[in-house]
């Protein structure tokens, strides 16, 4: 605290009280008031704090309440001690009326602290934020409000507090959010989307805190426990599988075909929950691409349909990505992916065409060369003569050598494949049987259409 002890403060006030008219701090804007009122305020603070040391909350209540009411910005301890006193009185209440009365006062303490927070923060080396106090207020309401609890009221409070605090949210705020949001879901099935968003919010903030803490510390353990609690509440909802999320979002995508904000929210949610293989994700991706077509969005749809095995839709989107690309590098990448799609479907000629286009657009990309090599190796038969078909592997190795010569990043893969495919090259004896030897050129016909040199 940025003040002296109560004893020194009380002496100073007594020495100056003779010539000063009595006034409360709440009336004249001072911390302790003036004259006899200031002396009474300091005495009340000293009295209730002495009683608190003895855990006599009932007797501490009256002097605390007077100091709290008359000098609301005298000290931050009026609020921290006040919440402690009122929590104890609520717990010890003998009637519901008394319990509700103390709860109302406890809520008012938090509200008043927020009201005077700017002034109170100047008195301490550990200032707090309005969101922190609001989160504590929500927690107190959740802990001490009599049943039946107004969960909607508590939920709105903690949701607002977390929105203010974000990654500075306390662990109990995040736990409260999950408890209350789950309760909202049980009361209203339509709350499901908001429940999922609440889970993602709580999970994100918890993970960010964990990352800032050293392993094997009490704080790290606390936040890891919090994250486990958040996950457990999500599991309890029954919405943890991609199939369940598909059931939530699938029917709604069609109704939100022009709502870009909603569609992007669905995409983000499914990505965070690792459910990008669901129909809802594909449908939302297509809708977003229609509304705001970009290279990245078209390429994403192409990849999604590739994973799904729908070749022509995949190629159509990769063609769209090529059209929308902002650079030849992006165009080359989409051509390469189109070639991969067609390669998987054994459409050799079309696959090779896209791969060659990828090379033309970006000659320093080794991946298309490797893909062509794999095409040749996968379908090396272009004639009826087995030895000539084996000559295809010279072309395979040529492509792999070219790949690593233009792109060092593919060297390891290219060398591995060279080692594999070298074993398939025809022997000198077999070549001699056809009247061929090292240095001869051979035209590989069919869809391959390459000329190689025997070696």
DSSP string, 390-438: HTHHHHHHHHHHHHHHH-GGGHHHHHHHHHHHGGGSPPHHHHHHTT--T
Report DSSP letters for 197-256, one per residue: HHHHHHHHHHHHHHHHS-TTSHHHHHHHHHHHHHHHHHHHHT--SHHHHHHHHHHHHGGG
End-to-end CA distance of the chain: 87
Q: How many other C-beta atoms can be found within 10 angstroms of the C-beta atom of residue 21?
A: 10
Alpha carbons within 13 angstroms on the beta-carbon side of residue 268 total: 12
State the virtual CA torsion across 307, 308, 311, 312 in degrees, nearest 10.
Answer: -120
**Average pLDDT, stretch 378-395?**
95
Distances (CA, A) of 161 to 65, 87, 94, 120, 184: 27, 21, 32, 19, 18
Of 30-39, 139-148, 286-295, minimum mean pLDDT range? 30-39
36 has a pLDDT exceeding 80:
no
**Average pLDDT, stretch 93-108?**
94
How much of the chain is in helix, strand and coil states, percent to nearest 5? Answer: 75, 0, 25
Beta bridge partners of 441: 453
Distances (CA, A) of 324 to 99, 284, 289, 392: 66, 19, 11, 37
Residue 291: pLDDT band with limits 50, 70, 90: very high
Residue 149 DSSP class: P
**Average pLDDT, stretch 372-390?**
95
Nearest CA to 226 out of 196, 200, 205, 198 is that of 205
- Give domain limits for the chain: 1-128, 293-365, 378-455
Of 238-252, 315-329, 396-410, minimum mean pLDDT range? 238-252
Q: Are strands 441-444 and 450-453 parallel, antiparallel or unpaired?
A: antiparallel
Strand, helix or coil for residue 443: strand
Residue 14: pLDDT band with limits 50, 70, 90: very low
- Contacts for 154 with CB less than 8 Å, ≥ 6 apart: 138, 141, 142, 145, 176, 180
What's the pLDDT score for residue 15?
41
- 315/298 Cα distance (integer angstroms): 10
Q: Name the percent of the chain lying above pLDDT 70.
A: 92
State the virtual CA torsion across 92, 97, 103, 108 in degrees, nearest 10.
Answer: -140
Fold of 293-365: 1.25.40
What's the pLDDT score for residue 37?
58
**Average pLDDT, stretch 386-404?**
96
Distances (CA, A) of 375 to 85, 372, 441: 78, 5, 21
**Average pLDDT, stretch 291-317?**
95
Q: How many other C-beta atoms can be found within 10 angstroms of the C-beta atom of residue 417?
A: 20
Place of tokens 């769209």: 320
Which tokens is 231 given?
């996950």
Report DSSP letters for 330-396, one per residue: HHHHHHHHHHHHHHHTT-HHHHHHHHHHHHHH-TT--HHHHHHHHHHHHT---SS-HHHHHTHHHHH
6 has a pLDDT exceeding 80:
no
- pTM above threshold 0.85: no
> How many helical (H) and strand (E) elements, i.e. helices and strands, does the chain have?
24, 2
- 382/359 Cα distance (integer angstroms): 24
pLDDT digits (tens, 9 = 90+) for 315-353: 999 999 999 999 999 999 999 999 999 999 999 999 999
Strand, helix or coil for residue 30: coil
- Contacts for 441 with CB less than 8 Å, ≥ 6 apart: 451, 452, 453, 454
Residue 371: pLDDT band with limits 50, 70, 90: very high
What's the pLDDT score for residue 39?
76
Q: Name the percent of the chain lying above pLDDT 90.
A: 84
């Amino acid at each position: 605290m940025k003040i002296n002890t109560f004893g020194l403060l009380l002496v100073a006030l007594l020495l100056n009280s003779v010539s000063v008219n009595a006034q409360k701090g709440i009336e004249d804007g001072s911390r302790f008031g003036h004259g006899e009122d200031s002396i009474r305020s300091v005495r009340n603070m000293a009295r209730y704090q002495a009683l608190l040391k003895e855990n006599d909350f009932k007797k501490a209540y009256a002097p605390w309440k007077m100091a709290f009411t008359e000098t609301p910005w005298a000290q931050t301890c009026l609020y921290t001690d006040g919440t402690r006193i009122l929590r104890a009185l609520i717990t010890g209440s003998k009637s519901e009326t008394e319990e509700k009365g103390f709860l109302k006062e406890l809520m008012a303490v938090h509200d008043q602290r927020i009201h005077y927070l700017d002034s109170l923060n100047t008195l301490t080396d550990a200032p707090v934020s309005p969101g922190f106090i609001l989160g504590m207020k929500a927690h107190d309401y959740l802990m001490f409000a009599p049943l039946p609890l107004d969960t909607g009221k508590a939920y709105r409070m903690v949701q607002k507090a977390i929105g203010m605090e974000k990654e500075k949210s306390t662990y109990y705020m995040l736990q409260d959010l999950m408890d209350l949001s789950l309760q909202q879901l049980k009361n209203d099935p339509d709350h499901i989307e908001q429940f999922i968003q609440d889970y993602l919010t709580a999970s994100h903030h918890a993970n960010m805190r964990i990352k800032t803490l050293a392993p094997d510390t009490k704080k790290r353990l606390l936040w890891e426990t919090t994250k486990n609690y958040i996950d457990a509440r999500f599991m309890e909802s029954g919405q943890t599988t991609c199939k369940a999320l598909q059931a939530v979002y699938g029917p709604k995508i069609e109704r939100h075909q022009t709502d870009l904000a909603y569609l992007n929210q669905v995409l983000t949610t499914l990505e965070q929950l690792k459910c990008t293989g669901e129909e809802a994700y594909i449908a939302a991706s297509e809708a977003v691409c229609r509304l705001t077509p970009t290279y990245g969005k078209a390429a994403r749809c192409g990849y999604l349909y590739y994973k799904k095995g729908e070749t022509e839709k995949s190629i159509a989107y990769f063609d769209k990505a090529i059209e929308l690309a902002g650079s030849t590098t992006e165009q080359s990448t989409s051509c390469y992916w189109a070639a991969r799609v067609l390669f998987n479907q054994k459409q050799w000629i079309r696959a090779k065409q896209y791969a060659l286009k990828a090379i033309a657009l970006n000659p320093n990309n080794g991946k298309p060369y490797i893909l062509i090599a794999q095409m040749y190796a996968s379908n090396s038969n272009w004639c009826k003569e087995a030895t000539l078909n084996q000559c295809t592997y010279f072309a395979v190795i040529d492509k792999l050598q070219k790949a690593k010569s233009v792109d060092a990043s593919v060297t390891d893969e290219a060398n591995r494949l060279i080692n594999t495919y070298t074993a398939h090259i025809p022997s000198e004896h077999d070549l001699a049987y056809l009247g061929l030897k090292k240095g001869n050129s051979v035209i590989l016909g069919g869809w391959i259409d390459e000329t190689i040199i025997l070696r």
